Structure 1
Amino acid sequence: MTTRTESEPGVEHLLDVFKALANPVRLQVLQWLREPERHFPVERAIADPVEVGVCVSHIQEKLGLAQSTVSAYMASLQRAGLVRATRVGKWTHYKRDEARIAEFVALLGHSL
C-alpha cells in the first residue's frame, strides 16, 4: 500500500472534502445552499441568503435535527472549505464557497 507524501499536493485537502461529503445530510445541505432562495424561507431571512448565506436556525429547522448536530455538520463543511460562515448579530449564516468548490473539482480532476 502506498502512503501519502509531501510531494502529493492537495491530497489532505481532498480527503477532508471527501470526509465532509461522505455524510448524506451534509451533502444535502451543500446542495440546498446552491439555491438558497428555493430551499429556505427568504421572507424570514435577516440577511440576503444569496449574498450572506442562510441562517443556521433555518438549516436546523429544515433538517429537524438538534442545533448542536447541525452546528457540527456546518463546521465540518467549513473546515473542508465548502462553505463560509458569516455572523449577523447573534446568528451564523452559511454560504457555499464556490471558488473553493471549483478548486476542489479541478484538484480532483488532476489527482485521479
Structure 2
Amino acid sequence: MRKTVPALLCLVTLTAPATAAEIRCTGVSGHLGRDRICAGAGETFRSSSAALTIEVLQDEPNRLSARIGWSGGQGPRVDVTSPDQPLDGRAVPRLMQGLRGSTDLP
C-alpha cells in the first residue's frame, strides 16, 4: 500500500532592492554652497523613482531659492528668506520641504 504525505510548498518572491533617486544639481553656488543644498536634496528625495534636477536659483545670505525638475515637468520656484540675519544650514531642509510640498512628482 502506498502512503501519501502532504507537502508544504513555499514560494518566495524576491524583489530588486530600491534604487536611489538620481538627483542632479545645477545653478548658482554661493552663501550656503550648492554641495550642501544637493546633499539636502538627496536626503529629502531619496525615495523618488524619477530622475530629478534641483536648480539653485539664488544662494545669497538672506535668500535661498530653487526649483525641481524632471523629464517632462518642473515644479514652482520655492524661496526661503530671512530679512534680518543671514541664512544658516537650517534653511536647506526648509527649502527641500517646500519643494516637496509644492511639487507633484511623477
User: What is the TM-score normalised by the length of structure 2?
Assistant: 0.27
User: What is the TM-score normalised by the length of structure 1?
Assistant: 0.26
Higher RCO, 1 vs 2 (CA within 8 Å, ≥6 residues apart): 1
Based on CA coordinates, which of the two structures has the bigger radius of gyration? 2
**Structure with the higher helix share, 1 or 2:** 1
